[in-house]
């Protein structure tokens, strides 16, 4: 995320609405678009190694959730887009890297350690975590802090169900998530681009919100490795980096944890990281976004379009200060 990708620069230049103000400038814009098309063609050749995930096991008993985003004019992104354009720094910093290297991730057996301020700590096997949960398909917008976005048909269950089960104590105010950090399976962990293990956290009331889910699949199948198999967090009203992948530890704390991104660049990545078109990233605008697969930029929506459901969590808070 620290690296500005040529594709991002390009799309912001060619879709700047001001360029269309008069005919002369429109012609200039058309020229830029042609150049961009050539560039993206070259990119495709350079990154030909990016491979869509192989299809996995079908998940049974999945119901459609009423919490899905009303997609309307928004198309759900394709399997290929969702599994070749990823952020998963444990497998490298290029968008195609996870699709190339995540094959090495061993997802069975998988346990999640639960500890800290809760009455039922322990090592929970993934089958045990899933026992008794109804899996739901939730079509959510994913908005990356890098100003691109996707629409993904996740499959999962409310995070709150699992939190209730492990009984946080009265002292628990935050919940922290850690990703596996095994350099023998994850080539990216050999480079110090972030502090490993990848660490993200939520306030406990955010974690209890019905929109926050633990996801175990997408498009009706078990989670592709590049998307965070076998279990990951999805918090749709926050920038994508809050949604930690391949979770091996969940910890309840009294104090606010320090997230990996916040630690690496505190001026750029705060604790809350709510999607907010009014608060720019220091190096680029958050007012618009490029939906993967689309040409024109879209306006970014407050809380990524989930304001009606989540705004009350932040009433009375200054969201410019608490970015
Ligand atoms: N462990 C881990 N989780 C992570 C990341 C990462 O680098 N490592 N990247 C985050 C970012 S920046 C985004 S935008 C989303 C991307 O999810 P996707 O690749 O499934 O679209 O995953 C998030 N979760
Ligand atoms: Mo992101």
**pLDDT band at residue 48 using 50, 70 and 90 as cut-offs:** low
Read off φ and ψ for residue 129, nearest 5 degrees.
-60, -35
Pocket test for ligand 1, best of 83, 84, 87 (most atoms within 8 A of CB): 87
Question: How far, CA to CA in Å, does 97 sit from each of 42, 47, 111, 186, 217?
Answer: 17, 9, 25, 11, 20
Taking CA atoms only, the protein residue closest to ligand 1 atom 16 is 87
Q: Is 243 in the pocket of ligand 1 (CB under 6 A)?
A: yes
Burial state string for 275-297 with b = 16 or more CB within 10 A and e = fewer than 16: bbbeeebeeeebebbbbbebeeb
pLDDT in tens, 153-200: 999 999 999 999 999 999 999 999 999 999 999 999 999 999 999 999
Residues 151, 81: contact at Cβ < 8 Å? Answer: no
CA 195–ligand 1 middle distance (angstroms): 15
Integer distance in angstroms from the first to the last C-alpha of the chain? 17
Taking CA atoms only, the protein residue closest to ligand 1 atom 15 is 240
Q: Is 244 in the pocket of ligand 1 (CB under 6 A)?
A: yes
Q: Which ranges of the chain does DSSP label H, i.e. alpha helix? A: 6-14, 23-46, 79-84, 97-101, 126-130, 159-166, 204-207, 260-264, 307-310
Burial state string for 153-165 with b = 16 or more CB within 10 A and e = fewer than 16: bbbbbbbbbbbeb
Q: Is 247 in the pocket of ligand 1 (CB under 6 A)?
A: no
Nearest one of 144, 153, 154 to 11, comparing CA atoms = 144
The Cβ-side half-sphere exposure at 96, using a 13 Å CA radius, reads: 10
pLDDT at 60: 95
pLDDT in tens, 257-285: 999 999 999 999 999 999 999 999 999 99
pLDDT at 70: 74
The fold of the 29-314 domain, in CATH, is Sulfite Oxidase; Chain A, domain 2 (3.90.420)
Mean pLDDT of the chain: 88
**pLDDT band at residue 112 using 50, 70 and 90 as cut-offs:** very high
Pocket test for ligand 1, best of 182, 243, 260, 289 (most atoms within 8 A of CB): 243
Distance of CA 113 to the CA centre of its chain: 22
CA angle 255, 261, 263 (to 5 degrees): 60
Residues 292, 148: contact at Cβ < 8 Å? Answer: yes
Q: Is 99 in the pocket of ligand 1 (CB under 6 A)?
A: no
CA 245–ligand 1 middle distance (angstroms): 6
pLDDT at 29: 40
In this predicted structure, the answer to whether residue 25 has a pLDDT above a threshold of 70 is no
Nearest one of 245, 268, 255, 8 to 146, comparing CA atoms = 8
**pLDDT band at residue 6 using 50, 70 and 90 as cut-offs:** very low
Q: Is 198 in the pocket of ligand 1 (CB under 6 A)?
A: yes
Pairing type for strands 136-143 and 63-64 reads parallel
pLDDT at 72: 74
pLDDT at 11: 39
**pLDDT band at residue 27 using 50, 70 and 90 as cut-offs:** very low
Question: 237: which DSSP letter?
Answer: T
Ligand nearest to the CA of 147: 2
Read off φ and ψ for residue 238, nearest 5 degrees.
-115, 160
pLDDT in tens, 239-254: 999 999 999 999 999 9
What ranges do the domains of the chain cover? 29-314
| Distance, CA of 55 to CA of 277 (rounded, Å) | 36
- Which atom of ligand 1 is the closest one to the Cα of 179? 1
| Distance, CA of 29 to CA of 142 (rounded, Å) | 29
Q: Is 90 in the pocket of ligand 1 (CB under 6 A)?
A: yes
Predicted TM-score of the model (pTM): 0.87
What percentage of residues in the chain have a pLDDT greater than 70? Answer: 85
């Amino acid at each position: 995320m620290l690296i500005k990708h040529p594709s991002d620069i390009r799309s912001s230049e060619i879709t700047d609405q001001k360029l269309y103000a008069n005919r002369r400038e429109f012609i200039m814009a058309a020229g830029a678009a042609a150049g961009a098309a050539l560039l993206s063609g070259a990119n495709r050749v350079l990154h030909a190694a990016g491979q869509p995930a192989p299809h996995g096991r079908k998940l049974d008993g999945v119901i459609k959730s009423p919490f899905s985003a009303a997609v309307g004019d928004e198309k759900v992104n394709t399997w290929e887009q969702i599994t070749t354009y990823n952020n998963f720094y444990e497998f490298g910093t290029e968008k195609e890297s996870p699709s190339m290297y995540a094959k090495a991730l061993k997802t069975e057996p998988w346990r999640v350690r639960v500890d800290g301020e809760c009455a039922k700590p322990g090592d929970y096997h993934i089958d045990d975590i899933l026992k008794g949960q109804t899996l739901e398909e939730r079509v959510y917008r994913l908005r990356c802090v890098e100003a691109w976005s996707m629409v993904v048909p996740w499959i999962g269950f409310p995070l709150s169900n699992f939190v209730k089960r492990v009984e946080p104590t009265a002292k628990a105010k935050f919940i922290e998530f850690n990703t596996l950090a095994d350099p023998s399976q994850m080539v990216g962990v050999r480079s110090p681009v972030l502090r490993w293990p990848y660490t993200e956290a939520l306030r406990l009331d955010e974690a209890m919100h019905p929109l926050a889910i633990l996801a175990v699949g997408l498009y009706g199948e078990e989670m592709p490795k590049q998307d965070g198999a076998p279990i990951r967090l999805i918090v749709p009203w926050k920038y994508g980096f809050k949604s930690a992948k391949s979770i091996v530890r969940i910890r309840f704390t009294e104090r606010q944890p320090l997230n990996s991104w916040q630690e690496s660049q505190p001026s750029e990545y705060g604790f809350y990281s709510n999607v907010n078109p009014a608060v720019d990233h220091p190096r680029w605008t958050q007012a618009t976004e490029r939906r993967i697969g689309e040409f024109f930029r879209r306006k970014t929506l407050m809380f990524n379009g989930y304001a009606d459901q989540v705004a009350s969590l932040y009433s009375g808070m200054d969201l410019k200060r608490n970015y």
